[in-house]
Structure 1
Amino acid sequence: MRSGQQACSNRLCGHPQRAFEWTAVIGVKAGILQEGILQLKKGAHGWGMIFARIVLGHLYTRPELTAKVDAIIPMPSYLEQNQARRGNDHTGYVIERAILEDDRGLPFVLEPPLIRKTSVTVRMRDTASALERHVAAQSLYDALHVPDPSRVRGQSIMVYDDVFTGGNTLNAVAKRLKANGASKVYGLTLARAQWRV
């Protein structure tokens, strides 16, 4: 916590089972940003290019965020065999577009993926209680697989996601990456959910 900041109200702050170091947040999930995220999930693919450019702009103006990062990956999504990324994996699609636009050689990794989601799990936004979120996070952890641990061993990995609410999803991914030898895991979030009062 920096001087002058309020104490963190997130349950994972200071929790002994938190597996990620921090998450960098670009904006707040409100207004046009919230609408764009929803539209991308509904298939308005132009938003993927816009978000890719926002991500790149943020990382270009904040080089300290990636100074010690070995790989930037999307939050893993479940894709059936031969299922297209576009329309089915919105975080992967944003990273795919960012790779095409990147002119500074940021360490994006998309294919082959460092981590895979092997089955459908309950979405965190569909949970209503801390217990349900805990069960959903465990289910997600169980569904994650690192195909080649030698590619993550000793690496610092940044995981991009569109929305950060409580950190349970990022924490499950960080735990799986660290269980396979990753040294540090960071988050990069397009928008954080507005704090509840």
Structure 2
Amino acid sequence: MTTIKIAHMYPREMNIYGDTGNLVVLMKRLEWRGLAAEAVAVGMGDKLPADADIVLGGGGQDAAQGDIGEDFITRSADLRSMADDGVVMLAICGAYQLLGREFRTQTGRVIQGAGVLDIETQGSATRLIGNHAVDSEWGQLVGYENHSGLTRLGPGVRALATTASGRGNNGEDDTEGAV
């Protein structure tokens, strides 16, 4: 049986809202489908497994994103190559922002991203919080949002979904996520 390898990015640094729970749920869902899974924690300076089937990353405060920013940048070419090869990436909050071109904090600090996605995020004083339901080509996705980053999609990316409730990427254009 093939084992699905999940590269869990920065589980200590980027787990502000218990995003490791996404790993637990993902592994359980794979198990229910009779699929074996292995999680590999990838912290600062650790090798990113080139044979990962899924890259998973969670949320972190602006300071945490700054702390891992340079390390994340060293992975840019590998992450872009993996995305080009069809590796699935589930990036939440700060990890999502760092897959983009850049994240500008509320204070104006610029944290460069990996450039995997054609997105930019601007920190805001307003938090977008609440239950969230979105419509995607895979059906309705539900979850919870809690972020102050306002993400704008560039022409080189399409939205993962449109938001029916909640505020999505930026609270203005009815988009959520990016593909």
TM-score by length of 2: 0.34
The structure with more strand, counted as a fraction of residues: 2
The structure with more helix, counted as a fraction of residues: 1
TM-score by length of 1: 0.32
